[in-house]
Chain A
């Protein structure tokens, strides 16, 4: 089980670092709720707006 954990941590961290460094800089971290029209934590629209 320890080897699985080591593999997951090392691989996962490498992917996160690579993905972050190759992504456009977006400033402050945001949640979907920060965007206009969001009506839920995932950013779903309100029933009245659909």
Chain B
């Protein structure tokens, strides 16, 4: 018989779970779903549920872009990196042809230029300092890491500063998006996209072999990669666009700043139609916010269902500082780079957009710098 109390974790038949946070996460998700269903928005409910499932999948699979990229850069281990490419390949199978064939759907595209490169590079530094990327910040914060709550706060602030900086960086110039399906058609575009993923995988394996490191993904990265890829397709179907994370953070941050009296009416970014609509409307009318909320509560539910939630002590101040600075850098970088490792890299490449690969190529050197900086904050460089 359960002996759960509202005050803390409980045990049942040898399994520890946390009734309070399980109830909070499920209750909060139910409230959000009820709110959008009151407006007859079935697809919005689907996006919340898709995000919830992503939170569970990421937490259960311990699917970490940040750690796997760090392992590749420091030791040559490629398994995690290849797991990330599984996500992209699975997602691309649906996104490239459907976005090209159906006017109701669109891919994740973005211009090529200095803003993209500077943004991705900065994001790479930030993700190693924070020890979490766009998706990682969401699922670890949701999963009970108070440190990552701080990274999320920094992320929001960084996104707002990034939104104010982006127009000036766009003025430096650039090229329109390059989309494989525009040149090769839906199926040729898909073939080219899968070929580019295969080429990247081959290169990554070659580097791992040369460094004498393991390149076979662990089971959690294979299964997790497949499941997360399928969930990316579900989010694409429900939202009409590939999964993105950080625009939601930007909207949350801007709404908080607005509530504090900040005026965005003269900021060019917030006069663009989509951003203006998001700032003026309900936070639940923005697709990325819906999946973000779902992911936070999904990770929380998954964590609370298996162990006492958030019972660890706060980490040292230096580690908290790294989380905050990393979050700020990721937020600023995500706005300049047209998204994070999810919106720009995973969804960009899965859409057959060249900017996804450019983002990745620029983020990796940033990660290297971030890895070098980690010991300054008491974090492992390995």
Q: Which residues of A contact B (CB under 8 A)?
A: 1-2, 4-6, 8-9, 13, 16-17, 19-21, 23-48, 50
Contact = CB atoms under 8 A, between A and B. Distances in A.
A28 B31 CA distance: 18
Contact of A34 (B35, B174, B274): B274
A42 to B, nearest CB: 6
- The 8 closest A-B CB pairs, nearest first, are A32-B274, A43-B274, A23-B282, A35-B273, A40-B110, A1-B146, A20-B282, A35-B274
Given A19-B283, A39-B110, A29 B311 contact: no
Given A26-B285, A42-B166, A33 B106 contact: yes
B314 to A, nearest CB: 6
A19 B41 contact: no
Contacts of A32: 247, 272-275, 277-278
Contacts of B61: none
Given A2-B311, A29-B284, A43 B109 contact: no
Interface stretch (B74-82, B236-244, B364-372): B236-244
Interface stretch (B88-96, B194-202, B210-218, B335-343): B335-343
Tier of interface size on chain B: 35 or more
A6 B149 CA distance: 12
A25 to B, nearest CB: 6
Which of the listed residues A4, A21, A32 has the most CB atoms from chain B within 10 Å of its own CB?
Answer: A32
Contacts of A20: 35, 282-284
A30 B28 contact: no
Contacts of A35: 272-274, 277
Contacts of B285: 23, 26-27, 29-30
Nearest to B338: A40
6 contacts: A27-B285, A30-B287, A32-B272, A32-B278, A40-B111, A43-B274
Contact of A4 (B146, B241, B288): B146
Contacts of B36: 29
Contact of A26 (B43, B166, B175, B277): B277
B335 A50 contact: no
Nearest to B344: A41
Nearest to A45: B272
Interface in B281-320: 281-288, 290, 293, 309-314
Contact of A47 (B106, B111, B284): B111
Nearest to A21: B35
Nearest to A8: B149
A34 B105 CA distance: 9
A39 B269 CA distance: 13
Contacts of B31: 13, 17
Given A20-B35, A26-B285, 4 more contacts: A1-B146, A5-B309, A33-B241, A35-B277
Given A13-B31, A29-B287, A31-B240, A42 B314 contact: no
A6 to B, nearest CB: 7
Given A26-B281, A29-B47, A30-B277, A41 B144 contact: no
B310 A31 contact: no
A13 B284 CA distance: 12
A6 B24 contact: yes
A44 B287 contact: no
